[in-house]
Structure 1
Amino acid sequence: MAILYTLVARGSVVLAEFSGTPTNASTVARQILEKTPGNNDMNVSYSQDRYIFHVKRTDGLTVLCMADDVAGRRIPFAFLEDIHQRFVRTYGRAVLSAQAYGMNDEFSRVLSQQMEYYSNDPNADRINRLKGEMGQVRTVMIENIDKVLDRGDRLELLVDKTATMQTNTLRFRKQTRRFRSTVWWRNVKLTIVLILLILVIAYVVSAFVCHGLTLPSCL
């Protein structure tokens, strides 16, 4: 999945969030919200190893996501724009006074569905290219997240590898079963060939020994 985590917040108050995999992205995201105060509109990205936190703030509402660096910027920011529009359209002015996680039970399902769509559906990128809505993404500033958070030590982004390991294990098991099946059929074919060869040799030898003799006397 290209987009692994996302949240919607008013200032530093998280209204809804969803994570597609066990990770400490939520902790990092909250630090980003605290370090980028104010209500000025902004599009900015913060890099950390092979993960990038993309932030879109519009009219005081911040939508943030964490994605693989291979996702680029167009798709994550198209995702953020989509989430912003859906959130405002759904809750309107209630966003201004909502309590922390006030929309999480309902809207986290929307976050999950749209994360899946923008991560895996090729139509997501085609649609955004046709619309041309994300031209402003070209000016997005990429900064290192450690610099933004004013940390002297390296901030480690912990992403659970269990799902990847399980996938690799299943793939290995399938390959093992396929290999065993191939070897078994190869042995069966070899056995059949050997039996046929033995029969041919026996026939040739018997024909040579019994040359000139009748079959009953040869037997």
Structure 2
Amino acid sequence: MAFLYALVARGSVVLAEFSATSTNASAIARQILEKIPGNADTHVSYSQDRYIFHVKRTDGLTVLCMADENAGRRTPFAFLEDIHQRFVRTYGRAVHSAHAYAMNDEFSRVLSQQMEYYSNDPNADRINRLKGEMSQVRNVMIENIDKVLDRGDRLELLVDKTANMQGNTFRFRKQARRFRSTVWWRNVKLTFLCCKLSQILLYAISSTWLSRMSALFVVLVVTREVVQTVLVYLSIA
């Protein structure tokens, strides 16, 4: 799974969160929330090990996710934008006064569903490409998490490898289907070639029995047929 953790917060107050695997990403996310400078809207990414924390803050509401580095930037920020819109549309002005985890029971399920969708459904990235990459995302620089956290505050990121295995399984199945299709077409081409050569051989034998005097003609015909068959096979391959 490309997305392993996500939260929605007002300042440093977490309103909802969800983790797809056993990890201490929640503790690191809280450190990031406390250390992000200023109150202005921002789009920023911080890397740690093979994972990246993507942050989107708009109108005082912060949406954060932790994703595998292979997820890139477009899809994570599309996910954050989607979550932000859903959260504001669902709770409206209540987000400005809600206490910690006030929306967690209900909205954690939404986080889980959308993390699954953006991790595994190929239509998610296809839709993002059709919409075009957000202008803010093009300017996002991925910085090391040490730049926002003090060395003494930094926590080592611990992630259950099961989540990565799920993502690898999905990619393996896709590659296996492509390989089976390639092998099937190769077998079709080989069968066609064998049938054609058998036809040529039978033609040569029958022609030889009908007229021994036309042996040279038979050889020429067979040679021509073989050449044509090879050319057809090469064009199909």
TM-score (norm. length: structure 1):
0.72
Match of 2:207 in 1: none
Match of 1:131 in 2: 131
Cα RMSD, aligned residues only: 2.0
Question: Whose Rg is larger?
Answer: 1
Structure 1 pair 166/18, CA: closer, same or farther in 2 (3 Å)? closer
Match of 2:43 in 1: 43
1:154-193 alignment to 2 at 5 Å? Answer: 155-162=155-162
| Alignment-mate amino acid for residue 149 of structure 2 | L
Match of 1:34 in 2: 34
Q: Is the 8 A contact 2:44 2:140 kept in 1?
A: yes
Match of 1:2 in 2: 2
Cα deviation, 1:69-106, whole Å, max 9, x if unaligned, reads: 00000000000000000000000000000000000000
| Alignment-mate amino acid for residue 25 of structure 1 | A
Deviation of 1:148 after TM superposition, in Å, equals 1.2
Structure 1 pair 73/85, CA: closer, same or farther in 2 (3 Å)? same
* 1:54 has 2:50 as partner: no
Deviation of 1:164 after TM superposition, in Å, equals 5.9
Q: Is the 8 A contact 1:146 1:155 kept in 2?
A: no
Deviation of 1:38 after TM superposition, in Å, equals 3.5
Distance 1:167 1:63 in 2: 23
Structure 2 stretches of 5 or more lacking a match?
A: 169-237
Structure 1 pair 153/13, CA: closer, same or farther in 2 (3 Å)? closer
Distance 1:46 1:135 in 2: 19
Aligned residues: 168
Deviation of 1:167 after TM superposition, in Å, equals 10
| Alignment-mate amino acid for residue 126 of structure 1 | R
Cα deviation, 1:33-61, whole Å, max 9, x if unaligned, reads: 00014321000000001100000000000
Distance 1:33 1:67 in 2: 17
Q: Is the 8 A contact 1:128 1:134 kept in 2?
A: no
Q: Per residue, is there more helix in 1 or in 2? A: 2
* 1:105 has 2:105 as partner: yes
Structure 1 pair 97/25, CA: closer, same or farther in 2 (3 Å)? same
